[in-house]
Amino acid sequence: MDRLGEKNVAIVSGASRGIGRAIALKLAKSGYDIAMIAAHDNERAQMTLKEVKAYADQSSFFECNVANPVQVAKTLEEIKARYTDFDVLVNNAGITRDKLLLSLSEEDIASVIDVNLLGTIYMTKACLKTFLRKKSGSIVNISSIVGLTGNVGQANYAASKAGIIGFTKSVAKEYGKKNIRCNAVAPGFIETDMTDLMSDEARKNIFEKIALARLGQADEVANLVNFLVSDQASYITGQTISIDGGL
């Protein structure tokens, strides 16, 4: 591939569907070329890439398991070879393995922690040298409202997302003097493939707990991320912003 460098570049993990897809599209519309990362190069990933390229034609897809630090390092080298630089990192990759704690296997626990928390750490660490050289950079980590509140059947997921919040605050404190900002977004119940599987009764019960009485949209999360990486949020760092409709 030819080396590029005309536009700002945003790296978005977990970008093939749901919230990650919405973030990639929003940032592309805002003028970024997108380095899309997902664990699998499949039809859905390529469809999202095609949508993103309609707004940012130099965007690219990179297959990477963010829980694997060797793959992360290799992928970051590929991104740096493809683009002159990058300016934004959005750590969105995440999985769930929902069961009550006593029913969770070691694999259920380890896989969620590895992808959600360690993946966020590995990706951030891999990007920091570039941000330090540039003396600028914006990182947004996608946490979850359950990282703040906990939730029945999601002890592993809640732990991973709470860890992201602590990690975000630490990175903000360590690198703020280098003009590197790091914030977290904590979505509530958002309309995605996972919530599509909920029963009507489950939806009704959730609506009763949400002030706005509806599920959020992935585009609404993307709008918040777009704000946080922009110059309009230049004095915001180390924060966890809930977007949950008043849950």
| CB hemisphere CA count around 33 (13 angstroms) | 19
In the annotation, is 157 catalytic? Answer: yes
Residue 203 three-state SS = helix
Alpha carbon of 207 to those of 188, 192, 196, 201, 210: distances in Å?
12, 16, 14, 10, 5
Total Cβ atoms within 10 A of residue 101: 12
Catalytic residue among 55, 83, 157, 175: 157
Backbone angles phi, psi at 11, to 5 degrees: -95, 125
Alpha carbon of 66 to those of 26, 73, 144: distances in Å?
22, 9, 18
Q: Which helix (H) or strand (E) holds 241?
A: strand 240-243
Catalytic site residues? 157
